[in-house]
Structure 1
Amino acid sequence: MSTRPTDLPRWVDLAVLPLLNLAAALFVAGLVMKLVGFDPLQVMALLAKGAFGSPVGLSYTLYYATTFVFTGLAVAVAYHAGLFNIGAEGQAMLGGLGAGLVALAWSPALPAWVMLPLMVLAAAAAGCAWAAVPGALQAWRGSHVVITTIMFNFVAAALLGWLLVGPLKEPGNMTPESAAFADSAHMPGVHEALALVGIEWPKTPLNLSLLLAAAAAVGVWALLWKSRAGYALRAVGFAPEAARYAGMRPRPTILLAMAVSGALAGLVGVNEIAGVHGRLLPDFVAGAGFVGIAVSLIGRNHPVGVVLAALLFGALYQGGAELAFELPGFSRDMVVLLQGLVVLFAGAMSRVGAPALARVFGRRAGGG
């Protein structure tokens, strides 16, 4: 059997293959649902209805997707530089901490039009600084970024936990959380923005961080494919020695990739801290950094793919919550199983269907 790598047309690799993998995941999930006594078509229909069938469901899906866009883009940027950033969880925590510290310090005195941009900048800067340290260690000391970013997740959690049971804890509150921010630190909800133009929309956690996520996706696309720095970043990730021979500098490029990656992950703090909670909490990230790894892989590390994969996982989160209410005996574990199958087929086994598609489209690397 030939072991040559499969070469697919780009549109097949970015669109057809992921859809084929998703279909395989849903097919296997349907078989599992059938085995445990549920009607697969009913489950899928209720899941889609819960995620997209009402303004409330759609809003929650988009709210989850906003966070996953930030973490998915963070992983994708690092990946293009040849780095596997496992630390988006900790970088998001530090982003929330940065935004929260700015809000606690200045929100009583500053108006919203000043406060909100400051929180965005603080979140990005904190995530950037937290990711830059593993980036520098990788570039100049050879410390593997996978190990250092994993360890920095634990350090970030410990730091945030210590602050919330100590210096930042609200006096008289038994819960480890900060005091509430002033109104100027509140990211307007989508329902509030739509009300200004006369559109009635239900109140949900969905806020204008959605627009920030869209801007981040466009910005990442422009950086990676329309800028000299992005070209150098991708060249270093693809062939570092060739990039060095061509006059590029891999070390600063690695640092840049991790810094941008951390800044993107840090923006999770804006969606959660400014947009929803209005105070610092110890567990506001809730695993979104690790979901971002799956989102990036499923999205083929391209901003458009990341956005679509984030919508998929947002739908799984929201639709799965609805399923638990609608179907007696349907547990949250079944939704986790579905998520795992999507990751398995679209991530770990993403190239299994590539040879068959190559035969269909008549292309294989190194041959006709």
Structure 2
Amino acid sequence: MSGITPGAPDAAHTPADDEQLPRASGPLTGEDPAPTRSGIFLRELMRGSAMTTVLAIVLAMIVGGVLIASTNKEVQAAAGYFFARPGDTLVAIWNAVIGGYEALFRGAVFNPRGNDFAAQIRPLTNSLGFAAPLIAAGLGVALAFRTGLFNIGARGQMLIAAMFAGLFAFNLDLPMWIHLPLTLVIGIAGGALWGGLVGLLKAKTGAHEVILTIMLNYVAYYLLLWMLRTPGLLQMPGNNQPQTAPTPASAQFPDLLGPRFPALDWGFVVVVVATVVVWWVIERSSLGLRLRAVGENPHAARAAGISVQRIYLYAMLFAGGLAGLAAMNQIQGNVTTGFGATIDAGIGFDAITVALLGRSRAWGTFAAGILFGALKAGSFSMQAQGIPVDIVLVVQSLIVLFIAAPPLLRAVFFLPKTDAEKAAKARAKAAKKAVTA
């Protein structure tokens, strides 16, 4: 009997056999199985910014539902005898939350109770009308964000734009095809000059744009208020109230879909065009490349030969001009009976939220503006049902809060961690081991 030498290869076993046999993997081998294409796609989808945004909206709506239920009188009454008849409380909670969000949908998107199709889709046109100035101002803030500038001066830029339009365009007697675009251009120029002042001061003196924009917001407000209280400047003739004369009919945006949809005018079309222009400038032009380079690393951009100071000036000129466009949507479309010092209506600060929700991208900001416009339009229907309008503001704030804290969202919905989070956790664990050792 011939033996086999220990350690010697089997004569019947060839290297080709190793190539044909699949490699063992799994928990018993200590190795993770190779991920499939569908698994990789699903993991990347769950980690993506789009999923984070959707889940942030869902979670904010859930919290909003809790607030709606807790402020509902029927829910409060049924909760008094919860342990005797818990079903009544649950039914009251369901009716309150579903009724509230149904009212939001009915006031923002589609009203099935309308008499005809025009009445049914009017809420959607109202949402788009409310969204137009939010989108314009949000684009200005987003463009500054992409350049590394925190522009919180959209309010002041809107006020100065309205002031310029009132001073230099309201008293003109021109045909509409001249008066309307001239008023629009004057307002955009006023906002651009006020934003460009910030860029110039930052470029020449190094002053921080946050301090500059905050202070210039106050300057713009009180300057406009003084002009509104001074006869011969912006105050309506024969009136003691701090308000301008109505916007001339020849300077107003015509209704886009006719008089049955008064909230939607041609100003929305102008905002769509502005969105396309901003997208092209940032993502496709050489100027946009320099803007993004400065936003990523101004020191590296300077070393590459880019004039950082000039880019700061350009960025704030664009940002101010877009805020001016938002102001023109207000005085040429939404508020044509004369404006006061509160013509910005909080849009300048809401624009920061819109830009953050849109992740400083042109079309993301456009979608975020429509969402916030829908929330604003639907809030009136919710208020008619006895739901506090402040709940909508809470939902808006929570959306931004959850988007700004992706780890919180991943913990709530058990989403996979990103590679950066895994690396940070591994470094923390290694550092802890090093300390204990």
Structure 1 portions without partners, runs of 5+: 1-7, 193-200
Matches within 5 A, 1:1-368: 13-37=48-72, 39-53=96-110, 54-106=120-172, 108=173, 110-166=174-230, 167-192=233-258, 202-278=260-336, 279-325=338-384, 327-328=385-386, 330-346=387-403, 348-350=404-406, 352-353=408-409, 360=416, 363-364=419-420
Q: 1:36 to 1:180 in 2, by over 3 A?
A: closer
Q: 1:15 to 1:131 in 2, by over 3 A?
A: same
SS of the residue corresponding to residue 267 of structure 1 reads helix
- In structure 2, the gaps of 5 or more residues are 1-42, 73-92, 111-119, 424-437
Is contact 1:96-1:268 (8 Å) kept?
A: no
Q: Which residue of 2 aligns with 1:197?
A: none
Structure 2 CA distance for partners of 1:176 and 1:223, relative to 1, 3 Å: same
TM-aligned CA deviation for residue 9 of structure 1: 5.5
Q: TM-score, normalised by structure 2?
A: 0.75
CA distance in 2, matches of 1:244, 1:177: 47
| Alignment correspondent of 1:195 | none
CA RMSD of aligned residues (A): 2.4
- Give the Å deviation of 1:11: 9.8
Change (3 A) 1:140 1:366: farther
Compute the displacement of 1:129 (Å).
0.4
- Offset at 1:280? 3.7
Structure 1 vs Structure 2: percent identity of aligned residues?
34
For residue 3 of structure 1, what is the aligned residue in structure 2?
none
Asked whether the 8 Å contact 2:155–2:217 carries over to 1, the reply is: yes
Single out whichever of 72-81 and 38-47 deviates more from structure 2.
38-47
Larger Rg: 2
Aligned to 1:196: none
> Residues of 1 paired with 2:126 and 2:171: CA distance?
30
How many residue pairs get aligned? The number is 348
Tell me the CA shift for residue 356 of structure 1: 8.9
Using the TM superposition, name which of 332-341 and 254-263 deviates more: 332-341
Distance 2:260 2:71 in 1: 36
2:408 aligned counterpart, secondary structure? coil
- CA shift for structure 1 position 334: 2.2
Residue 31 of structure 1, CA deviation:
2.1
Return the offset for 1:342. Answer: 2.1
Farther off after superposition, 11-20 or 138-147: 11-20
One-letter identity of the residue aligned with 2:60: A
Q: Identify the residue that residue 433 of structure 2 maps to in structure 1.
A: none
